[in-house]
Amino acid sequence: MKTVESNAKRFNQVTPRLPVADLQRTMDFYTKLLGFEVRCLWPENPPTFLMLERYGVCLAFDAVVGTKPQPAESACGFYLGTEKVRAMHEQLRDKVRIGWGPEVYPYGCREFAIRDPDGYMIIFTEETDDPPTCVEL
């Protein structure tokens, strides 16, 4: 397979854009629980698009108008690379249901997972030299 040539030398950011049932609920979850800031809320009334940012990481959400979005499947979600996964886990464990972890995996990452209000899996991950605590993938 031949790659597409362009003037761009590399990609420098990816922003997932996910459908959600309730934009306000999503905004509250990510801003109040995870510390994201609103970068864009559009249009003014009623808003149907939300972009959030924290330390250069952007997430975008679309309110599904007229139909309810399908529930997110178990594989739907994203990784958030961070520092101090254990500390993040401590901050969140009494505020949201932890799906699994934190565990250290054979591929050299400490991770744990939660789900947002629409069912998207958020996996917090950091590289580590610690020995694995979970051998099953």
pLDDT value at 104 more than 80: yes
113 in a structural domain? yes
42 and 91 share one domain: no
Same domain, 31 and 76: no
Q: Is the pLDDT of residue 52 over 70?
A: yes
Predicted confidence band of residue 79 (pLDDT cuts 50, 70, 90): very high
Residue 103's contacts (CB-CB under 8 Å, 6 or more residues apart) are 110, 111, 112, 132, 133, 134
In terms of residue numbers, what domain contains 41?
A: 13-67
4 belongs to a structural domain:
no
Query: Residue type for 48, please?
Result: T
For residue 69, the model assigns a pLDDT of: 61
Domain closes at, from 22, 48, 67: 67
pLDDT at 113 over 90: yes
CATH number for the domain harbouring residue 102: 3.30.720.110
Residues 60 and 117 in one domain: no
Count the domains in the chain.
2
Same domain? For 80 and 115 the reply is yes
Cα 45 from chain centroid (whole Å): 26
Q: Do 88 and 40 lie in a common domain?
A: no
pLDDT of residue 7: 65
Whether residues 29 and 76 share a domain: the answer is no
C-beta of residue 63 within 8 angstroms of C-beta of residue 49: yes
31/52 Cα distance (integer angstroms): 8
Rounded CA-CA distance 39/16 in Å is 14
Is residue 1 a part of any domain in this protein?
Answer: no
| Per-residue pLDDT band at 85 (split at 50, 70, 90) | very high
Q: pTM here?
A: 0.86
What pLDDT score does 10 carry? 77
For residue 58, what pLDDT band results from cuts at 50, 70 and 90? very high
Quickly state the pLDDT bin for 19 (edges 50, 70, 90).
very high
3-class DSSP state of 95: coil
